[in-house]
Structure 1
Amino acid sequence: MTRNKLYSLLLIACFTGYAYLFYKINYLPNETFRVCFIKNVTGYSCPSCGATRAVSLLLEGKIIASLLLNPFGILLAIVMTVFPLWVLTDVILKKDSFFKTYTKTESFIRKPWIAAILILLVMLNWIWNIYKQL
């Protein structure tokens, strides 16, 4: 993937995430509307179910509640805060530090033992979500 394509996709994804979070907080605060395709089709939570609510809790300062709901929410909040700022800084300064870090991280994650650990963490979170009946 090229630098510009990665940066464009990341900024579009973050903007879409911000728009959905804004909509969810302001227009659907108590609704049980679910975007999750897996939950809608199977009735079972996916590993990321509850991440939007976890980010909402984090924005309210309820860190423990956010972690208990879905730890991916904290990761998502960090990504949606840091990555766009980093990408915009790269674009303005005509650098590619984010792209270089991304490619190094991607090659690191491709190591079988690292990938196995990350897959295990996702599976544990999925089991946790199903257990909580999100």
Structure 2
Amino acid sequence: MKKNKLYNLVLTACFLGYSWLFFFKFFANSSSNIDLTACLFKRITTIPCPSCGTTRAVQEIVQGNILSSLVINPFGIIVALIMLCCPLWIIYDYFTKKQTFYNFYLTTESIIRTKIVAISLIFLVLLNWIWNIYKQL
């Protein structure tokens, strides 16, 4: 992936994530009788996907409830860190005319593509999925 495309994709995803959190903060709580489940997998199968609960987990982090966030979905911490760090990092790269974020992305991608890391990550995602199903999220 080219640098500009990556930066635009990450910034757009972060903007959408912030918008989704804003929507939940100010609109979802006021209309509690509306089901706002965005997960298509859960709507179709009634089984939570591995990332179900991530929005609530990020909301818990914003409120300072780290342990509660971990119980809801450990992916929330990863998403919160990405949403916080990546836009700042990309802005830094823009003003300094560097590509440190892009280089980090390329390095991380090559590490994730190694067999042992990929299998480990798949195992962790499956473990999280089992955890979500067990909690009846």
Work out the CA distance in 2 between the residues paired with 1:68 and 1:5. Answer: 34
Trace 1:33-72 onto structure 2 (pairs within 5 A).
Answer: 33-72=36-75
Q: Are 2:128 and 1:125 equivalent residues in the alignment?
A: yes
Instruction: Give runs of ≥4 in structure 1 deviating > 4 Å.
Output: none
Code of the aligned partner of 1:8: N
Q: TM-score, normalised by structure 1?
A: 0.97
Structure 1 residue 110: Cα displacement: 0.2
Q: CA RMSD in A?
A: 0.9
Three-state SS of the structure 2 residue aligned to 1:34 is: coil
Q: Are 2:14 and 1:14 equivalent residues in the alignment?
A: yes
Identity %: 49
List runs of 5+ in structure 2 lacking aligned partners.
none
Code of the aligned partner of 1:129: N
Three-state SS of the structure 2 residue aligned to 1:79 is: helix
Trace 1:85-124 onto structure 2 (pairs within 5 A).
Answer: 85-124=88-127
Q: TM-score, normalised by structure 2?
A: 0.95
Three-state SS of the structure 2 residue aligned to 1:66 is: helix
Code of the aligned partner of 1:73: G
Aligned length: 134
Code of the aligned partner of 1:87: I
